[in-house]
Amino acid sequence: MESAKTEPFAPEPRSPDDLLEAGLPNLWYLIARSQDVADRPVALRRLDRNIVLWRGERGEVNVVEDYCPHRGAPLSMGEVVNGNLACAYHGVQVTGAGIVAEVPPTPNCPLVGQKAIKSYPSRELAGAIWAYFGDDAHGEAPEPIFPEEITSGDWSGFLYAGTWQCNWQVALDNRVDPVHGSFLHVGTFTLGRGRKDTELNIVAKPDGFETSRDNQRGVNIDWHEVFFRPENILWIRTEIPYPASIGGGSFRIVGLPTPIDRSSTYFWVYRSRRIAGWQRDLWRFLYKNRLRARSDLVVEQDRVMLEAIPLEARRREKLLQVDVAIARLRRMLRAEATRQFEARKRPEAAE
């Protein structure tokens, strides 16, 4: 069984593809639900790194690497003391900024006041916790560009999150593949209708692109948008229709698979509707009592399929015209990974 011990140093990527496999750095990622972090430290693995989350005295979320600067014990095994995280091994306390606050075994210790471990800027919004995984050249994190579906009061939504045993890139491919809905999800509540054949049209946008079928809209998965701002955020929104039997219309799923490590993914999406008044109340009631289970069934079909597809399958795949969005997104991410990889090889140039 693979060891889950704290890794004090993240391995250097050997290529742009190697960098991508563990998760593209310098982006905001959703890492946990708000309800998952209460009064105890929480150990997580994200982007192939061990991190620990806890709440400070004002309820704010702190995120640092899960590594005590004294002897390397996991800080997640400790406890929260006056808003700081105290190591269970010798009581060394660190702040949410990764600064040593107290060293009880050694009064007047020179370590106090030093930034000794990596900290991750975080935000809490829409029932979730986000963190910025910047590299050494990105000490300051940009303000995240969140989609309106989770920032605007005009939208009402619910967060789905789960752990999938596949590389995040496999899950990402699925998010920009509208045609699979006509086959994998045939017979489901929302995705059992429409044509199976199509060509996909792509429209470039300043921060990404839109993809749509050429022969239908509002019938199956017929439209989606990729928003990618390098060094800030990546997310994908998809339009999902409701059948006429429950009033028609549509809802959107917005999300991005968050890498856990090279073989597992924290898959999350918001399911949201732009709706108001009694219709909003009715939809929220129906979602909790009927629609969530039906949507979860669709996601479970995705999970089972994607966990059966290794990342290495790319070496033998034969892409079709309906895979144009997958190919475009892969090129965008690999170009950014190549840029970051080359920058890592030029440390002198950054000085």
List, for residues 269-296, the tens digit of each pLDDT value: 999 999 999 999 999 999 999 999 999 9
Question: What are 243-260's pLDDT values in tens digits?
Answer: 887 778 899 999 999 999
3-class secondary-structure state, position 124: strand
Instruction: Tell me the per-residue pLDDT of 120-175, one tens digit each, with 9 for 90 and over.
Output: 999 999 999 999 999 877 768 999 999 999 999 999 999 999 999 999 999 999 99
CA gap 240, 225 in Å, rounded: 12
Encoding tokens for residue 48? Answer: 């192939």
Question: Residue 347: what pLDDT?
Answer: 59
- Rounded to a whole number of angstroms, the CA Rg of the chain reads 22
Same fold, 28-132 and 148-335: no
Q: Is the pLDDT of residue 225 over 60?
A: yes
Residues 6+ apart with CB under 8 A from 314: none
CATH C-level class of 28-132: mainly beta
pLDDT at 1: 33
Q: In terms of C-beta density within 10 A (0-12 exposed, 13-18 middle, 19 or more buried), how is residue 65 classed?
A: buried
Q: State the pairing for strand pair 93-94/100-102.
A: antiparallel
Mean pLDDT score of the chain: 93
Domain boundaries, given as residue ranges, for the chain:
28-132, 148-335
**pLDDT score, position 8:** 62
Distance separating alpha carbons of residues 194 and 182, to the nearest angstrom: 7
CATH of domain 148-335: 3.90.380.10
Q: Is 50 exposed, middle or buried (0-12, 13-18, 19+ CB in 10 A)?
A: buried
